[in-house]
């Protein structure tokens, strides 16, 4: 295939050879990637009704009646009150205040010109529409309705449908969010507060604090009046606030609103099939953003990163490694300039990274940046990355630095499309050359001596004899003549063809076994249908050929297998009713070649939802079902894909609803609360270990609307190299598309089976621990029934000896696995780093992303084991200790009043703060959400670890004005609510969820362009994005598709409206804000600084 | 032809009915009055009864019977003394006086109800049903349990047999299907979307409750009535009226509804796919399969007659009921192993099947066993279930063999050939008060209904006056043993009735599904004192005696360890001959026997040599099979099992019974041997040569063709009436198959015979004594003082 093609259309297509097979999967991989893009989904039946008449929901449009101003407050107040300095953004306050009063004719003066601080052009639509009401008041037919309803003048902005029925139209009951607010216009307020008395009635609009509306905005604290908080409380004091339902934020857990919204739509979707196949094809075309500057701009060498001008790779850095932050004289917090504190700056241009230069390891670019690797000795940092790019000579030095020494290994990480493929080397019968003592594999750092007759192992130092047929003379530089021709001698990553010696049996076939929950709940929520459809569509993406075997089973309180062999006319359903002591019902024919059964399987998948349509069995025998499926797969091993919808309630491994127990415990502050994040018992763990032994990998798709005890369930995928997918609350409207894409990616991504991995390192270090999704039976190796491109394994090290200054420490990861096409391979990933005895070198070469990922994983591991506050404290202390070490030993600036951050780790405090506030570590996290977070963190790659806690937020409303140079995603906004404007739309994504936040002052035009509705009030929070024929919408789709591509994940899109419970969820990601349970970013810096000072003292 | 034959052993169907209208035959038709006298009679006092034998003269009364007052509860019968004036009848069994109820008001000497006709000692009552629920006639239910651990060919035979059976089923019959191999597959025939199968593992014994739970039947299926026998009729009523719908519809469907599905399933049915390692037997979980079947029927239709029809092709090697391990190096247990208690699985398996039998009896269901294999399949262990439930049993070598094929077909056939399969039988026995009941041998289960009539000693199913027969048919036969224990007062001569009375009451659901009560009342004479030997001798029935003794000794062999059957038989015979023979002491030559005893020693001679006593020639399975049939067949048929009948066909004379002796073999004769289990046509050497030369095809040798055909026709006649269908062996003199004949013949000429052998005749290579030697010894020992 033409190598230039892949990345003109879909960037990270794996190169030929990546898939480890002569006939690689690039196309399938690419397809799968493309498929992550969103398509023109037929609008769900609910959508048209909303779109048809933007005015059909006048009552909800009014979002901004006077009280709405206060309604939207709950988000900002916490940070606002604690953060007076941010008042430099008057826009926020201005626009907020503007919401109310204009209705009374006071609008005009109330709108100061948008200050320059706000980049986006002033949203003209909003003021205009709001200003209009005074005229409208005259013609208003219903004087009683709330002011905002009266927006006839805003019609022009609304786009095509000039709705003539604004008030007549009864509220459609199908609009979920309408419920409470709808009562507003007709309820109390009108009668008690007729509009007849415009200006005189002003008092009621005033908050109890009696702050007059006329007060100049500038005089108000940016966060809005504290009074507004209280105004939410006693509605009686504010007639317009009247309906209590208008306080959606009152103490509700953030997840709840989303639960609520799903229900109204349940009925509508079955027919509308939002993920029909054709639509996907459509999408692939539209959503293929050109690779940002792939070839156009010559990639720069990484050696000169823009933001590290003083840090070339020169051996002796002329500048000290630290960078005291400008204006960071934090002796008084007020002096911190919030705009100057460190934040991630996305790097938009592609750099070329040579892993080694001049026989020295190069410091890799940040994991999150875009780079092309040239492997000349060390592996690509995508595959393996160390927390520090120089290795401390002694253990003492390491502990002084307080930094972790760990490798993040992602053996199948997707390469950049223009990178060279990994070479496959066949040593023939003899197998790859290895050190005879430590069994390390031949690599570029093995030194050939004695005219090439011997070679010295770089791992254990043993001198081996060169085999006769591998002998080659040395050149004058001491290298073998053939070094550059032999991939294993010049490349950091290489793959060997495994010989019989590496097989205990023939390489296993690619087995995919699907089991689907068909209990009452699963059927009724549409989860079963979604799963069946997803599988049916994904079948085409399974690897072709006779080695691909499939099987299927369903289960409720018993397990139903199917004999789908083509030979039999009718598929047979075989029921295993004994869920306490399961067995497999047939010896053969449960797992058959895909080519033999495709037709039968498709028919079966079509009919399963109908077959169980009236199923009244509420019990779900999850444990028994996976065990039974395992028994069927035992002879071969393979992937077991489970679609589970409710708490496993019967049979082996059944679970009880610990959630209720957890609630009482949390409220009583029980110290044992974290135990609920541990597996309920050992049953599933024992099963999982057995699965792993027989090379069965379990992936679980949780399409649920209730508690399912992920803490217990996730043990199975964790132990078997699988993964948990979590769709909560499952929405039949929006989730099937994600389910399908997740499944499709799961089966088509680059992966290997029956893998064993071992990491070796130079003498002086030893492996301390492996961490990730695997099963460990012997201390030195980890067993991975399956390993794929998304999985990362963390390996920590400890010193057992000293290194010589100037020597190099080598790491070698060896992964023995079977490709989906049945070849046995050994992937060798080498990394050799210089050793140093200088602490400053350690800090300079520290790898922030890797270190942070390490912290994240350690914190995740700690969550089930210790009380939350301890985990948070430990996490914070890790950060403090590192900074303290740096301050104490490396900082040249002696002013004790300065918080000095090492340049490489300057974002560590921010990420640490974000981590502490993440779902996993927050107090108010729901049990399952936290368990899921923990389980996800376990195998998370570096690339996704940062966004998980510090998501990426970009503005959407102004996309059209941005340059379409592929950098649409780079204009990120700090995660602080002060950067959120009421007239803006924002997309926040963390690699899993994509949240659209819509302010309450957004130009309806923009909404129309993006979502096809002029008001988001009726739109469900479970968003199904469509492309409309306008530039803005196209760009949005591009952005979303690019994000999906980058994250290898089809985001779960949700809509968060200001003034709505959904907004709380969004705001919980504003990690820089002060929250009831956490510090703001500035405060945190102060806290860290104080702690360091205390330690110094 | 057969009708002309003397001895009456050959053609029971065609000849005069030896059982009489009542179907009751007794060893002694005149009963000794005292216990001592009875023991001196040697042969136990017993009656062989055929409770629902077809009888053309049977009177069916469309009303409820009139019963004597409790505890007697005997039914009004011709032997009752009726005072027409007082409208009173006196029960002949207990002598109670009973008033006729009002609806008998019209009774008079010229107007008596049917049950009082003197010739109607057997009548059947068909009372109108009590209510609509009881009137609903339950459909017949067949639950097939098929073994799939078979070779392809055998499975093909099973399939074709099943297809034929499905074709013969009445439309309304409920059908269910279970197949088994390593695991048990229960087919939910009522599931329309696709074939739905419940799978049970073969290794694990599962309780009935677990089965119901796992089938989702526990809520709907369990009725209080199924718990014990007492609630049984109630459960039946419920079941008859309103079948617990959901569960029945899922697994048992009317044949008309599921015929297509069943045939489709049979088409796709494969041999068990679980791998069989080399040197191992297939894993076969017969026990679990049967308990699943039993559990299903118990849940769906408790109390309604239903048959589990099991087709088994090999030994159970897994789970409960296992008779041998899967390792081929371990042979299936032999009689020797059983004798030495070396059959490690035997007792466990028997216990399992015993429990299964209890469950099935409680539910009122029948297990029919069709075992077809060259090796044993475990009939010996399963015997208890089959016999207790009154099931049918057929043992064949292959599912392709006519013994299986034709027998299997007979179950479903209607009309003349019908077996008259009935359900839910209960037998009660009432008798005069000096008589006690020891027990019953045959296909039934004691209902543990104890009473004054129960004897202290127990034979077979005893300690009761009431027995359940879940399944019974026209040929079903039971043997009741009586004990004579006169009370003090009744033993005083002259003061008592010279007649004794016994009444058999059989309640059953006939093949049409109606409930019937058949009442048979018999009377016999008491013989007072020891002087009247003549009377006793006159009342002796030697055929019945031989059969009863055979059944009795079979039971003793099974129940008593170290029981020496031959010796016991010999001694009994000697005692009997000493008691009833005519001789001068110590003069063997003077010994003669009354004609009523004359063939009895010969019966004993053959019984000693039969498969019932000489078990070591057979496998335990075969022995169990033979004994089950011995116990349930009529006296006439059973006699044939003990002493086969032999007919001779030749040019010179009409077909005639021949001596069961090797001397009957002749080169120019055709012999027809009926051993009940097999029918052998034996061509003398000359006949065989002629036949091989094809003379029968030449018009001038019509007579020869007829001669060849005659035994064939007679054999077919025997085969047609018999269930299980006997194996037909056609052989020639000196052929290998001739052993089937030779084994049964009296070895009057052996290889050490001194005298010469007639030309064309044969000798038998055996050391067994001949009948003649046996007689000599008997005479000598009988006359010893």
Characterize A134-170 residue by residue with b for buried, 16 or more Cβ atoms within 10 angstroms of its Cβ, and e for exposed. bebbeebeeebbbbbbbbbbbbebbbebebeebbeee
Residues forming beta bridges with residue A782, ordered by sequence position: A757
| CA A660/CA B598 separation, integer angstroms | 90
- Local structure of B26: helix, strand or coil: strand
A830 in helix, strand or coil?
Answer: strand
* pLDDT the model gives residue A369: 86
CB pairs under 8 A between A and B: 67
Q: Cα–Cα distance between A918 and A407 in angstroms, integer?
A: 23
Task: Read off the pLDDT of residues B767-778 as tens digits, 9 standing for 90 and up.
Answer: 788 899 999 999
| Selected residue of A577, A615, A631 to mutate for chain B interface (largest B Cβ count, 10 A) | A577
The answer to whether A293 and A7 have CB atoms below 8 angstroms apart is no
CA dihedral B440, B446, B450, B454 (to 10 degrees): 10
CB A143 within 8 A of CB A198: no
Residues whose CB falls within 8 Å of the CB of residue B496, separated by 6 or more in sequence, listed in order: B490, B526
CB-based contact (8 Å) between A595 and chain B?
no
Give residue B576's pLDDT.
Answer: 93
Compute mean pLDDT per 10 residues along chain A, 1097 residues long, and list them: 39 38 40 41 38 37 36 35 37 33 36 40 37 37 39 38 39 38 37 38 39 39 37 36 36 34 33 33 34 37 38 32 42 60 81 90 89 92 94 94 95 92 92 93 93 93 93 89 91 94 92 95 94 95 91 93 77 89 86 90 92 90 94 93 94 84 54 79 93 95 92 94 93 91 94 95 94 92 94 95 92 95 94 94 93 95 90 94 91 71 92 92 86 94 92 88 67 88 90 90 88 81 84 89 89 87 88 87 92 87
Contacts of residue A570 in chain B, CB cutoff 8 Å?
A: 194-195, 264, 268
The ipTM assigned to this model is 0.84
Beta bridge partners of A465: A454
Out of A401-410, A1008-1017, B230-239, B352-361, least confident range: B230-239
Residues 6+ apart with CB under 8 A from B646: B657, B658, B659, B660, B664, B671, B672, B673, B674, B745
Q: Which of B198, B201, B268 sits opposite A575 (nearest CB)?
A: B198
Nearest to A753 by CA among A692, A712, A798: A692
For residue A785, give the DSSP letter.
E
Q: Which of A61-65, B352-356, B727-731 has the lowest mean pLDDT?
A: A61-65
Chain position carrying tokens 């032994």: A693
Which of A572, A576, A578 minimises the CB distance to B195? A572
Residue A75's pLDDT is what?
34
Test A581 with B204 for CB contact under 8 angstroms: yes
Beta-strand ranges (E) seen in A705-778 are 723-727, 751-761, 765-771
pLDDT higher than 60, residue B210: yes
Please tell me the predicted confidence (pLDDT) of residue B655: 92
Residue A90 has a pLDDT of 36
C-alpha dihedral, B731 to B732 to B736 to B737, nearest 10°: 20
> Chain A: residue nearest B266 by CA?
A568
Residues of A in contact with B212 (CB under 8 A): none
Distance from CA of A601 to the nearest CA of B (A): 13
Q: Report the gap between the CA of B184 and the closest CA in chain A (Å).
A: 9
Residue A302 CB partners (closer than 8 Å, separation 6+)? A351, A352, A353, A362, A363, A364, A365, A371
Task: List, in order, residues 6 or more apart from A374 with CB less than 8 Å away.
Answer: A352, A353, A354, A355, A419, A420
> B268 in contact with A at a CB cutoff of 8 Å?
yes
Closest approach of B414 to chain A, Cα-based (Å): 34
Question: Does any CB of chain B come closer than 8 Å to the CB of residue A580?
Answer: no
| Per-residue pLDDT at B552 | 96
Return the closest-CA partner of residue A439 out of A760, A756, A764, A755.
A760
Q: Any idea how long chain A is? A: 1097
Element (H, E) at B708: helix B702-721
* Residues from chain B contacting residue A585 (CB–CB below 8 Å): 183, 185, 197, 199
Instruction: Kindly state whether A613 is in contact with chain B, defined as any CB-CB distance less than 8 angstroms.
Output: no
pLDDT at site B289: 95
> Could you give the percent of chain B with pLDDT greater than 90?
59
Given CB atoms, is A610 within the 8 Å cutoff of chain B?
Answer: yes
Do the chains contact at A578 and B193, CB–CB below 8 Å?
no
Q: Chain B residues with CB inside 8 Å of A650's CB?
A: none
| pLDDT, mean of residues B442-461 | 91
A571 vs B194: CB contact, 8 Å cut-off?
yes
């Amino acid at each position: 295939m033409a190598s230039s093609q892949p990345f003109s259309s879909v960037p990270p297509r794996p190169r030929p050879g990546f898939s480890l097979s002569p006939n690689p999967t690039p196309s399938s991989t690419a397809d799968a990637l493309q498929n992550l893009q969103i398509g023109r989904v037929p609008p769900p039946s609910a959508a048209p009704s909303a779109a048809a008449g933007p005015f059909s929901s006048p009552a909800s449009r009014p979002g901004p009646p006077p009280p709405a101003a206060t309604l939207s407050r709950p988000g900002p107040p916490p940070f606002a009150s604690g953060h007076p300095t941010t008042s430099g953004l008057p826009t926020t306050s201005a626009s907020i205040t503007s919401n109310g009063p204009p209705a009374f004719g006071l609008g005009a003066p109330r709108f100061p010109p948008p200050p320059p601080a706000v980049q986006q052009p002033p949203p003209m639509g909003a003021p205009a529409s709001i200003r209009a009401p005074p005229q409208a008041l005259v013609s208003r037919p219903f004087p009683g309705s709330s002011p905002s309803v009266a927006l006839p003048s805003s019609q022009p902005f609304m786009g095509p449908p000039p709705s003539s029925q604004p008030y007549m139209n009864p509220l459609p009951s199908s609009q979920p969010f309408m419920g409470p607010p709808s009562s507003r216009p007709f309820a109390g307020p009108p009668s008690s507060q007729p509009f007849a008395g415009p200006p005189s009635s002003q008092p009621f609009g005033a908050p109890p604090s009696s702050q007059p509306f006329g007060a100049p905005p500038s005089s108000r604290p940016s966060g809005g009046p504290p009074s507004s908080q209280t105004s939410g409380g006693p509605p009686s004091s504010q007639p317009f606030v009247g309906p209590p339902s208008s306080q959606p934020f009152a103490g509700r857990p953030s997840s709840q609103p989303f639960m609520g919204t799903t229900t109204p739509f349940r009925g509508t979707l079955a027919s509308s099939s939002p993920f029909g196949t054709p639509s996907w094809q459509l999408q692939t075309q539209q959503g293929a953003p050109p690779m940002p500057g792939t070839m156009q701009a010559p990639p720069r060498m990484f050696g000169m990163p823009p933001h590290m001008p003083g840090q070339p790779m020169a051996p002796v850095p002329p500048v000290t490694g630290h960078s005291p932050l400008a204006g960071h004289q934090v002796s008084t917090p007020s002096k911190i300039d919030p705009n100057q504190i460190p934040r991630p700056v996305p790097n938009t241009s592609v750099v070329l990274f040579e892993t080694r230069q001049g026989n020295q390891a190069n410091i890799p670019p940040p994991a999150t940046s875009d780079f092309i690797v040239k492997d000349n000795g060390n592996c690509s940092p995508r595959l393996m990355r160390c927390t520090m790019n120089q290795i401390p000579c002694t253990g003492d030095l390491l502990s002084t630095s307080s930094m972790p020494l760990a490798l993040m290994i992602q053996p199948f990480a997707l390469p950049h499309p223009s990178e060279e493929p990994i070479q496959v080397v066949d040593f023939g019968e003899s197998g790859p050359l290895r050190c005879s003592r430590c069994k390390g594999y031949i690599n570029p750092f093995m030194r050939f001596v004695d005219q090439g007759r011997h070679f010295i192992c770089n791992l254990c130092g043993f001198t081996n004899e060169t085999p006769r047929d591998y002998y080659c003379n040395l050149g004058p530089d001491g290298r073998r003549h053939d070094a550059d021709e032999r991939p294993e001698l010049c490349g950091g990553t290489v793959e060997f063809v495994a010989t019989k010696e590496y097989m205990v049996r023939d390489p296993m076939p690619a087995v995919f076994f699907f089991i689907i929950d068909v209990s009452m709940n699963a059927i009724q929520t549409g989860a079963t249908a979604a799963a069946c459809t997803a599988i049916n569509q994904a079948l085409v993406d399974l690897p072709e050929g006779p080695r691909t075997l499939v099987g299927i089973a369903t289960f409720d309180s018993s397990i139903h297998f199917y004999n789908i062999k083509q030979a039999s006319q009718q598929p047979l359903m075989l029921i295993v009713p004994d869920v306490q002591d399961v067995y497999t019902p047939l010896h053969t024919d449960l797992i058959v070649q895909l080519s033999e059964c495709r037709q039968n399987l498709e028919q079966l998948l079509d009919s399963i939802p109908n077959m169980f349509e009236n199923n009244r069995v509420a019990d779900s025998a999850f444990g028994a079902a996976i065990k039974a499926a395992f028994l069927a797969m035992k002879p071969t091993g393979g992937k077991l894909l489970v679609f589970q919808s409710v708490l496993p309630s019967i049979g082996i491994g059944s679970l009880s609803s610990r959630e209720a127990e957890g609630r009482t415990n949390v409220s009583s502050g029980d110290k044992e609360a974290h135990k609920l994040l541990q597996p309920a018992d050992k049953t599933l763990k024992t099963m999982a270990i057995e699965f792993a032994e027989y090379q069965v990998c379990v992936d679980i798709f949780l399409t649920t609307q209730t508690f399912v005890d992920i803490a217990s369930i996730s043990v199975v995928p964790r132990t078997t190299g699988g993964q948990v997918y979590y769709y909560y609350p499952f929405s039949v409207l929006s989730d099937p598309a994600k389910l399908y894409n997740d499944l499709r990616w799961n089966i088509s991504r680059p992966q290997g089976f029956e893998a064993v991995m071992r990491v070796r390192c130079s003498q002086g270090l030893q492996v301390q621990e492996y961490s990730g999704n695997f099963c460990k039976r012997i201390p030195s190796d980890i067993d991975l029934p399956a390993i794929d491109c998304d999985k990362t394994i963390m390996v920590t090290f400890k010193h057992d000896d000293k290194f010589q200054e100037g020597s190099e420490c080598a790491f070698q990861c060896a992964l023995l696995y079977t490709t989906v096409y049945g070849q046995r391979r050994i992937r060798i990933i080498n990394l050799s780093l210089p050793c140093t005895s200088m602490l400053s070198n350690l800090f300079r070469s520290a790898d922030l992303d890797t270190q942070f990922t390490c912290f994240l994983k350690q914190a995740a591991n700690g969550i089930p084991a210790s009380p939350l506050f301890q985990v948070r404290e430990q996490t914070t202390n890790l950060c403090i200790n590192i900074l303290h070490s740096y301050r104490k030993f490396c900082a040249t600036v002696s002013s004790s009043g300065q918080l000095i951050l090492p340049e490489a780790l300057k974002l560590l405090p921010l990420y640490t703060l974000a981590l502490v506030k993440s779902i996993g570590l927050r107090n108010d996290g729901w049990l399952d959400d936290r368990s899921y977070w923990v389980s996800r963190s376990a195998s998370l790659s570096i690339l996704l670890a940062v966004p998980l806690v510090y998501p990426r937020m970009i503005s959407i409303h102004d996309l059209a004005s941005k340059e379409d140079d592929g950098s649409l995603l780079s204009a990120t906004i700090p995660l602080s609510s002060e950067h959120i404007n009421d007239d803006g739309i924002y997309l926040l994504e963390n690699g899993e969820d994509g949240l659209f936040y819509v302010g309450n002052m957004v130009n309806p035009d923009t909404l129309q362009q993006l979502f096809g509705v002029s008001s988001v009030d009726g739109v469900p929070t479970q968003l199904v994005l469509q492309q409309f024929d306008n530039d803005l919408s196209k760009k949005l789709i591009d952005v979303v598709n690019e994000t999906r591509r980058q994250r290898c994940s089809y985001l779960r899109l949700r809509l968060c409206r200001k003034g709505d419970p959904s907004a709380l969820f969004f705001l919980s990601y504003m990690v820089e804000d002060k929250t009831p349970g956490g510090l703001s970013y500035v405060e945190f810096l102060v806290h860290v600084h104080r702690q360091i000072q205390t330690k110094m003292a | 032809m057969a009708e002309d034959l003397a001895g009456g052993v050959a053609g029971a169907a065609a000849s005069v009915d030896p059982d009489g209208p009542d179907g009751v035959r007794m060893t002694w038709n005149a009963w000794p009055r005292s216990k001592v006298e009875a023991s001196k009679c040697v042969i136990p006092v017993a009656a062989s009864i055929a409770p629902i034998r077809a009888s053309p003269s049977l009177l069916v009364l469309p009303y409820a019977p009139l019963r004597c007052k409790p505890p007697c509860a005997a039914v009004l019968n011709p032997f009752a003394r009726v005072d027409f004036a007082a409208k009173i009848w006196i029960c002949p069994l207990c002598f109670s006086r009973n008033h006729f109820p009002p609806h008998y008001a019209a009774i008079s000497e010229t107007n008596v109800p049917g049950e009082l006709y003197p010739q109607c000692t057997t009548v059947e009552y068909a009372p109108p049903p009590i209510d609509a629920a009881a009137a609903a006639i339950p459909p017949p239910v067949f639950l097939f349990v098929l073994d799939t651990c078979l070779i392809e060919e055998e499975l093909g035979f099973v399939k074709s047999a099943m297809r034929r059976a499905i074709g013969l089923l009445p439309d309304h019959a409920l059908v269910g299907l279970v197949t088994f191999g390593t695991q048990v597959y229960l087919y939910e025939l009522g599931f329309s979307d696709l074939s739905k199968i419940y799978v049970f593992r073969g290794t694990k014994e599962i309780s009935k409750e677990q089965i119901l739970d796992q089938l989702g039947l526990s809520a709907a299926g369990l009725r209080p009535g199924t718990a014990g026998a007492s609630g049984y009729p109630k459960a039946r009523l419920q079941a008859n009226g309103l079948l617990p719908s959901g569960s029945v519809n899922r697994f048992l469907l009317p044949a008309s509804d599921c015929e297509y599905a069943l045939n489709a399933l049979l088409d796709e049915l494969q041999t068990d796919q679980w791998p069989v390692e080399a040197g191992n037997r297939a894993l076969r979980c017969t026990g679990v399969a049967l308990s699943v079947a039993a559990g299903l029927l118990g849940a769906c239709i408790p109390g309604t007659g239903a048959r589990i029809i099991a087709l088994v092709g090999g030994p159970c090697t897994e789970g409960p009921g296992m008779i041998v391990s899967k390792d081929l190096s371990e042979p299936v247990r032999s009689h020797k192993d059983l004798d030495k208690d070396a059959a490690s699985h035997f007792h466990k398996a028997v216990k399992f099947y015993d429990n299964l039998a209890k469950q099935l009896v409680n539910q009122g269901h029948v297990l029919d066993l069709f075992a077809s294999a060259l090796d044993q399949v475990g009939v010996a262990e399963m015997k208890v279930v089959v016999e207790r439930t009154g099931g049918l049993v057929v043992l064949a070598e292959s599912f392709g063999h006519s013994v299986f094929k034709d027998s299997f077909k007979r179950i479903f056939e209607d009309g003349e050939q019908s077996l008259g399969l009935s359900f839910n039988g209960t037998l009660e026995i009432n008798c005069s008060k000096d008589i006690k009941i020891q027990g019953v041998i045959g296909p039934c289960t004691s209902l543990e209904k104890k009473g004054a009539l129960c004897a202290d000693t127990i034979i077979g199913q005893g300690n009761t006056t009431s027995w359940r027969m879940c399944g019974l048919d026209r040929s079903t036969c039971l043997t009741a043993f009586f004990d004579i224990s006169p009370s003090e007062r009744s033993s005083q001569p002259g003061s008592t009735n010279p007649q004794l009375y016994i009444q058999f009451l059989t309640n059953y659901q006939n093949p049409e599904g109606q409930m019937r009560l058949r009442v048979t009342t018999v009377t016999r004479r008491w013989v007072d004192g020891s002087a009247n030997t003549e009377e006793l001798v006159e009342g002796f029935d030697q055929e019945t005696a031989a059969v009863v003794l055979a059944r009795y000794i079979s039971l003793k062999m099974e129940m008593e360890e170290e029981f020496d059957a031959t010796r016991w038989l010999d001694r009994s015979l000697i005692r009997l001959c000493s008691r009833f023979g005519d001789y001068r002491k110590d003069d063997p030559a003077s010994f003669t026997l009354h004609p009523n005893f004359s063939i009895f020693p010969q019966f004993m001679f053959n019984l000693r040599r039969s498969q019932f006593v000489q078990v070591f020639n057979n496998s335990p399975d075969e022995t169990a099979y033979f004994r089950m049939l011995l116990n349930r067949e009529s006296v006439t048929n059973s006699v044939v099992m003990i002493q086969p009948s032999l007919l001779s066909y030749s040019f010179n004379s009409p077909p005639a019974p021949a001596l069961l002796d090797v001397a009957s073999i002749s080169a120019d004769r055709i012999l027809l041997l009926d051993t009940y289990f097999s029918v052998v046509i034996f061509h003398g050497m000359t006949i065989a040569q002629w036949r091989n030369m094809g003379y029968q095809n030449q018009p001038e040798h019509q007579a020869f063709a007829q001669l060849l055909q005659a035994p064939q026709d007679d054999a077919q006649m025997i085969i047609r009436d018999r269930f299980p269908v006997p194996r037909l062996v056609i052989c020639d003199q000196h052929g290998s198959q001739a052993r089937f004949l030779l084994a049964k013949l009296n070895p009057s000429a052996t290889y050490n015979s001194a005298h010469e052998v007639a030309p064309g005749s044969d000798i038998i290579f055996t050391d067994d004594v001949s009948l003649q030697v046996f007689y000599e010894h008997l005479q000598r020992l009988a006359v010893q003082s």
